Amino acid sequence: MTIKIYMMTKKLPKEELFGLVSQIRRAAVSVESNLAEGESRYSNADKIKFFIESRSSGAEVETQLLIIRDLYKELFDNSTSLRDEYKVLGKQINSLINFRRRT
């Protein structure tokens, strides 16, 4: 999904490069990076901490997609489907967190 974010943000105006573009790209990368780092940890407490960070970054992406949709409606029809993908991912991360809490 990070690739989709990068491709989508290429269409944004240049004045957004250091604003929304930078913010949403960093948040999207953070989702995947925190999942990877969490999975590499040994204790469940450490794993959960990073999974929660990943989930939070996903929520940031969802919000920024809403902002992009509202500001640049003419450019983006697909921001809703991408936002839906992040919602599904958030639910999957929640399941992962709950699983780790039980083990």
Q: What is the mean pLDDT of the chain?
A: 93
What count of Cα atoms within 13 Å lies in the side-chain half-sphere of residue 76?
A: 25
Region 65-94: what's the mean pLDDT? 88
Q: With respect to CATH, is domain 2-6+18-102 assigned 1.20.1440.60?
A: yes
Rounded CA-CA distance 62/51 in Å is 17
The residue extents of the domains of the chain are 2-6+18-102
Q: Which of the 8 DSSP states describes residue 42? A: S
Q: Which of the 8 DSSP states describes residue 30? A: H
The predicted-structure confidence for 12-34, as pLDDT tens digits, reads as follows 999 999 999 999 999 999 999 99
The predicted-structure confidence for 73-83, as pLDDT tens digits, reads as follows 887 766 678 99
Instruction: Report the length, in residues, of the chain.
Output: 103
Residue 6 pLDDT more than 90?
Answer: yes
